Amino acid sequence: MSEAVVAKRYAEALFQLGTEKKALDHLEEEASVVQEIFGQNKKLLVFLTHPRVANEKKKQFLTDVFKGLSADLLNTMKLLVDRNRIDLMPVIVKEFLYLTNEAKGISEATVFSVRALSDDEIEKLSGSFAKRFGKKAIKLENKVDPSIIGGIKLRMGNSIYDGSISGKLKRIERSIVTANK
């Protein structure tokens, strides 16, 4: 079974647990913290996946590091250690956060622009794209990409809205090439 499928199953189980206990918002906050910690500390996964470190030592380490965490999330990580799947934790958390956002009608997207956008600009873009895609809200992450020349490009899941100048130039180039055939 592929790791993505396994990670999705763990995320769905955690989501279901949070829904049943009516603690989804709290689990979402904690999962965001876990995601940040795993993202900032690359050596954490190296330690937790090291074959010479005993599982009991790994679980004690998780208990010490994540002592403020809910039992559900901590036990999930300990279970992953026991099953030698702790390397999937970042993927599980990402999938879990996706599921919680979907349940709330929120999507995440990346907006590419030539310069960093202000909070007001991001808020306006979020509102207009949320209406366009039928969502309550869209959490936008702004990435600066000077290669787009101007305008914006938005990536949400598998969809790309390209309102950049470089995108328009490429479309014009394609239409000229196909017209000359």
Buried b (16+ CB within 10 A) or exposed e, 97-131: bbbbbeeeebbbbebbbbeebeeebbeebbeebbe
What's the pLDDT band for 180 if we cut at 50, 70, 90? Answer: confident
For the chain, which residues make up each domain, given as ranges? Answer: 3-101, 105-179
**pLDDT top residue among 132 and 11:** 11
pLDDT digits (tens, 9 = 90+) for 113-170: 999 999 999 999 999 999 988 899 999 999 999 999 999 999 998 889 999 999 999 9
Task: Examine the pLDDT at 181 and tell me if it is beyond 90.
Answer: no
Residues 6+ apart with CB under 8 A from 7: 88, 91, 92, 95
Tokens of 65: 């590091």
Question: In one letter, which amino acid is 58?
Answer: K
In degrees, to the nearest 5, what angle opens at C-alpha 79 toward C-alphas 69 and 77?
35
pLDDT digits (tens, 9 = 90+) for 48-103: 999 999 999 999 999 999 999 999 999 999 999 999 999 999 999 999 999 999 99
Walk across the sheet containing 159-162 and list its strands. Answer: 137-144, 106-113, 152-156, 159-162
pLDDT digits (tens, 9 = 90+) for 14-41: 999 999 999 999 999 999 999 999 999 9
CATH number of 3-101: 1.10.520.20
Q: N- to C-terminal Cα distance for the chain?
A: 47
**Contact criterion met (CB below 8 Å) for 107 and 157:** yes
